[in-house]
Amino acid sequence: MQKNQTAQIAVLAGDYIGPEIMAAGLEVLKAVSEDGKFNYQIHEEPFGGAAIDQAGDPLPAQTLATCQQSDAILLAAIGGPKWDNAEKRPEAGLLQIRKELNLFANIRPTAISEAMRQYSPIKNENPVDFVIVRELTSGIYFGTPREKTADYALDTMRYRKEEIQRITKLAFEMATKRRNHVTLVDKANVLATSKFWREIVGEIAQDYPQVNYDTSYVDAAAMKIISSPDQFDVILTENLFGDILSDESAEITGSLGTIPSMSQGSNGPALYEPIHGSAPDIAGKGIADPISMVKSVAMMLANSFDRQDLATEITNAINEVISQQVVTPDLGGHATTKEVTAAIISSIKESR
Ligand code: ATP
Ligand code: MG
C-alpha cells in the first residue's frame, strides 16, 4: 500500500468479549491516528457466532468480500457455548478465512517487558523478545490419509517443498528486521518431514549470510523456552510443534490477555487477533483485558502499514499503564476494560 493512501481495515468483532475489546482497540487506533498521523477507514462485518445468528453462516459472503478488499483485518474473538450445539460452528469461519486468504504463516510474539516482568514465572533477568513463525495450513493437522479403526489409528504428516520455502523466506525476512537470528525447531533425529525441512531451510539460509541460523529439536526447544528464552529471536517451525510451543510461550509472559498474533499469506491482507478465545466467563462484565487487542492494532500498524513509529507509541503507553498497575483482574488489578483503554490513550497523548 502507498503511504498517504487511506488504509482500508476490515473489523470483525465476533462474540462474547470480542466486541468489548474491539471497541478498545479501535479507540486506541483513533487516538494514535489523530492530527492526520494515519488515515484509515474501518469496515465492520459480522463473523463467527454473531454471523451465524444474523446470516446463518460464520463467514458470510459479504464479510469475506470485505476482508479480501481490505489492506488488513482486525479480529477480536469468536465462538462460545451459545453455539456448542449449533449446526454450524463459529470456528469453521476461521478455518475458512485462513484458507480463502491463504494465511499460511502464524506469527506470535513473546516479549517480557520490564513492566510485565512481575507477572512472568520466568526468573531469567535478561530481556525476552522472540517470535514464533508457525506453518498454519499443512502438516499433520491436514494430511491424509487419516484413519481410525478399533485396532489402530493413523494421521499423516506431509509437507511439500513450496510450503516450507514460502514460510522459511518469511521467517528470514522477519529476522533481518529483528536481531538476525533464526532457529528452526524440528525433530530431525526421527521424522522424515523434519529432515526435509532441514534441507530446504538450510539452503535458503545461505541466501541470508547476515542471519545467524541454528536448529533445535522440539523437546530441547520446549525446555529452553522456560530455562533460557532470551536466546531466541525468530523460531521457525511446522504446524503441530508451533501450536504447542506458542501456547507454552504465551504462558511465560504471565497473561493470555496481553498477547496479539498475526496470520499472513504471500500477498493480500494479513489478519491480526488476540491469541485468546472469546472468554464467555467474563463477557459483559466490562473487565476483559484489552491489551491483547490493542497490541494487535499495534502489530497491524507496524506490519501492514509500515508504521513502527505508531506501534511503538502504543507499546510504550501499554508498558506505562502496566507499570502504574492500571490493570484488569487477569493481571491482579481492579481496573475495567474502559479504564485501561482510557489510561493507554492518556499516556499516548501525554507523550506527544
Ligand atoms: P478457545 O478455545 O477459543 O481458545 P479457551 O477455552 O482457550 O478458548 P479463552 O477464551 O481463551 O478460553 O479463555 C481462557 C481463560 O482466559 C478464561 O478464563 C478467560 O476468561 C481468560 N481470558 C481470555 N482472554 C482474556 C482477556 N482478554 N482478559 C481477561 N481474561 C481473559
Ligand atoms: Mg484456547
Count the Cβ atoms, other than its own, within 10 Å of residue 23: 17
- Its pTM stands at 0.94
d(CA 333, CA 326) in angstroms, rounded, equals 7
Distances (CA, A) of 266 to 101, 104, 208, 330: 9, 8, 19, 36
pLDDT of residue 257: 94
Rounded mean pLDDT of 212-239?
A: 97
Task: Look up the CATH superfamily of 105-265.
Answer: Isopropylmalate Dehydrogenase (3.40.718.10)
User: DSSP for 49-95?
Assistant: HHHHHHHSSSS-HHHHHHHHHSSEEEEEE---GGGTT-SS-HHHHHH
Query: What ipTM is given for this predicted complex?
Result: 0.94
- For the question of residue 37 being annotated catalytic, the response is no
Which spans in 107-232 are helix H?
161-176, 192-205, 218-227
| Probe target for ligand 1 pocket from 47, 106, 256, with the most ligand atoms within 8 Å of CB | 256
CB of 203 closer than 6 angstroms to any ligand 1 atom: no
CB of 79 closer than 6 angstroms to any ligand 1 atom: yes
Residue whose C-alpha cell reads 507523550 in the numeric block: 351
pLDDT digits (tens, 9 = 90+) for 61-117: 999 999 999 999 999 999 999 999 989 999 999 989 999 999 999 999 999 988 889
Q: Which atom of ligand 1 is nearest to the CA of 278?
A: 10
pLDDT of residue 123: 80
Residues 6+ apart with CB under 8 A from 85: none
Considering the candidates 187, 224, 230, 338, report the single residue annotated as catalytic.
Answer: 187
CB of 278 closer than 6 angstroms to any ligand 1 atom: yes
* Range(s) of the chain covered by CATH 3.40.718.10: 1-101+268-352, 105-265
pLDDT digits (tens, 9 = 90+) for 245-293: 999 999 999 888 999 999 999 889 999 999 999 999 999 999 999 999 9
| DSSP element (H, E) containing 131 | strand 128-135
For the chain, give the number of residues.
Answer: 352
Fold of 1-101+268-352: Isopropylmalate Dehydrogenase (3.40.718)
Return the minimum-mean-pLDDT range out of 38-47, 54-63, 114-123, 322-331: 114-123
CB of 282 closer than 6 angstroms to any ligand 1 atom: yes
Do residues 14 and 78 lie in contact, with contact meaning Cβ atoms separated by under 8 Å? Answer: yes
